[in-house]
Structure 1
């Protein structure tokens, strides 16, 4: 494997579906100030790139780069306190796909992609087919990175509960796109390439969720694990810790998701 001389011990990679960055810039700023990740990927920013309140993060020493979409839908962004180069703002494989769901950067000796994978429950079977096709394109990108021995991390809202242990009993019907066999098979296909599910690697049997619907779901822990950090073999060897940070979900007017943080030794 190629050496990773630029990765410092304790480097933190994080992901957070904010469900509107303009409503939850304060939640993100408090997370950055408290946890201090080197790289944070956001999903569901729900605004154009110009509408992301980057100045709030610059005051903390972070640079933001967003891929937005009009109409208050989708949207992804990266916020980092180390230099980075944007590698891609769209998932390769479909020139007609205009949804803002992918951003990839090169920073600190690795490539890192932030993704907002389609939910697959809207639009009938065509909507579900878009989800599966998107996952197939994602697998092709991951395969290329691994084939070239590029240290690679993939973080974000995958909208997949990989196993029955990744959702509260009865939280979803078996027909839901997040648990359909085809979705789970596509997630396993990513792992079969050689990627490691960082949270499960260190917490194989623990009940851990990253999403709780609004209402009483958080208080009763009726949640889902759909936000994931996947690591290439060389990065998995450096994995020191991976945790779900529930503090942002317990704040006032939170996102329905909460961050996942992976620390590399």
Structure 2
């Protein structure tokens, strides 16, 4: 069984539902995980996406901020979510796909951005980000997040871990999203379940790779000051089933774009 799974921080799903529809029609992933939907569940444009064949939708939203949603052409066996750090933020939704004898769990995350000052003592947003990552680490580490099924973790994790995941390692070392303490916390999350960064399995770590470009750049392509904030990880046994990765950087030039672009992975589950 072949499954194509994509992740995209859409930066308001209602404002950019035309872009989502375009991506669904042109790329036709089996599953699309959206972040920063900024939309309560009762206002999510489900009908628009169901008309395109995505009949199975798991929104987890709130008014004006945050929010995640997973759209699928494959039926869900189960939908769940977790609230992190005792907050009501809509930052996680998990779905279990009906993929035959071996179900596939997909975790869709929107990790807090962390504000501007990388000091948890003076910046509550940064402290929240680090606490969120610690809770992710512990949750996956103690096995409570899964029942032994293969898992994929995707989303805007708001951290660019490698030197080649940012346009300038030296200049961004003290900028939130690439500071050593954030990278250390993300590495601990990844180690908690031996997650495989399948994007970097297919695109060598030596190669510059970005999924986000600031709106502040008048010409994002010319300056190319990007960061790789959007990730696709798999549980250890699933990594070898990933047969391809695509980063649709051209979507950054679509009309009224998100500042992020879709990242897609293809899985051949018959390899498991």
Q: TM-score by structure 1 length?
A: 0.89
Alignment of 1:71-110 (within 5 A): 72-91=64-83, 94=85, 96-107=86-97, 108=99, 109-110=103-104
Give per-residue Cα distances to partners, 1:82-104, cap 9 Å, x unaligned. 10144322245x4x310011000
Classify 1:148/1:66 alpha carbon distance in 2 versus 1 (closer, same or farther; 3 Å): closer
Give per-residue Cα distances to partners, 1:138-173, cap 9 Å, x unaligned. 122333168853201000000001022101026963
Asked whether 1:163 is paired with 2:157, we answer no
Give 1:106 deviation, angstroms.
0.4
Structure 2 CA distance for aligned equivalents of residues 121 and 33 of structure 1 = 35
Partner of 1:222: 225
Give 1:190 deviation, angstroms.
2.6
Asked whether 1:64 is paired with 2:65, we answer no
Aligned length: 254
Asked whether 1:50 is paired with 2:53, we answer no
Give 1:196 deviation, angstroms.
0.7
Any unmatched runs of 5+ in structure 2?
none
Partner of 2:135: 137
Classify 1:172/1:17 alpha carbon distance in 2 versus 1 (closer, same or farther; 3 Å): farther
Give 1:65 deviation, angstroms.
2.1
Give per-residue Cα distances to partners, 1:221-242, cap 9 Å, x unaligned. 2111000001101210201011
Partner of 1:207: 208
Structure 2 CA distance for aligned equivalents of residues 158 and 232 of structure 1 = 17
- Superposition CA RMSD, Å: 1.9
Any unmatched runs of 5+ in structure 1?
1-7
Partner of 1:151: 150
Aligned structure 1 segments of 4 or more residues deviating by more than 4 angstroms: 145-148
